[in-house]
Amino acid sequence: MTKQITRTLSLLSIPLLLFVLAGMSSTSADTDVNFSGTLVADPCELHVDSEDQTVDFRNVPSKTFIKYHRSERERFSIWLTECDLSLGDTVTVTFMGTEDIEQPGLFAVTGAAKGIAIAVESADGIPVVPNIPMRPSALTAGNTFLDFQAFISAPVHSRVREGDFECVTVFLLEYD
């Protein structure tokens, strides 16, 4: 997974910074700056289209949950490229996120909507449990697509409240 760290210096703080730097004396001090890290050889690259994804359920009528306990499934994939099987042949995916209190094993939503949670499954219907690694998936040389599906779960219609909602998860890839 690619991590981005962005640091922004406010334009309002630049004059203050210049004033502070101008007022400093010319004495010197010995200080050390240590840089460290680890270079790793991951078997695959994460395709840019998989870094930030939005699964849009669009408008789901709340009356859907009178008869059904779930919405239609929306499909999405994690696209791995340039997979070199000599560096590893499986990947384990973990979806990190807040577990719903009322529907354990599903992801909690934020926003005005209430009584719902997000369920994620592998393409073959195996549930994805928040913060628990899935079983390893085989990599293929070149491109590997890890296919998933998600749906809105609302087992008790009387608790459903309309409104916008959001659920944010982060996936972790561990190669073996």
Note whether residue 12 is domain-resident. Answer: no
Note whether residue 142 is domain-resident. Answer: yes
Residue spans of beta strands (DSSP E) within the chain? 45-46, 74-83, 90-96, 110-111, 117-122, 127-128, 137-138, 142-153, 165-166, 170-175
Note whether residue 164 is domain-resident. Answer: yes
d(CA 145, CA 135): 15
Token readout for 46 is 């994460």
Note whether residue 119 is domain-resident. Answer: yes
**72 and 58 Cβ atoms separated by less than 8 Å:** no
Which position has the token pair 């994804």? 53
What is the total count of domains within the chain?
A: 1
pTM of the predicted model as reported, rounded to 2 decimal places: 0.77
Tens digit of each residue's pLDDT, the chain (176 residues): 333 323 333 333 334 334 444 455 556 677 788 888 887 788 999 999 998 899 999 999 999 999 999 999 999 999 999 999 999 999 999 999 999 999 999 999 999 999 999 999 999 999 999 999 999 999 999 999 999 999 999 999 999 999 999 999 999 999 99
* Residue numbers of the domain that contains 164: 45-53+69-175
Note whether residue 149 is domain-resident. Answer: yes
Note whether residue 120 is domain-resident. Answer: yes
CATH number reported for the structural domain that contains residue 125 in this entry: 2.60.40.1090
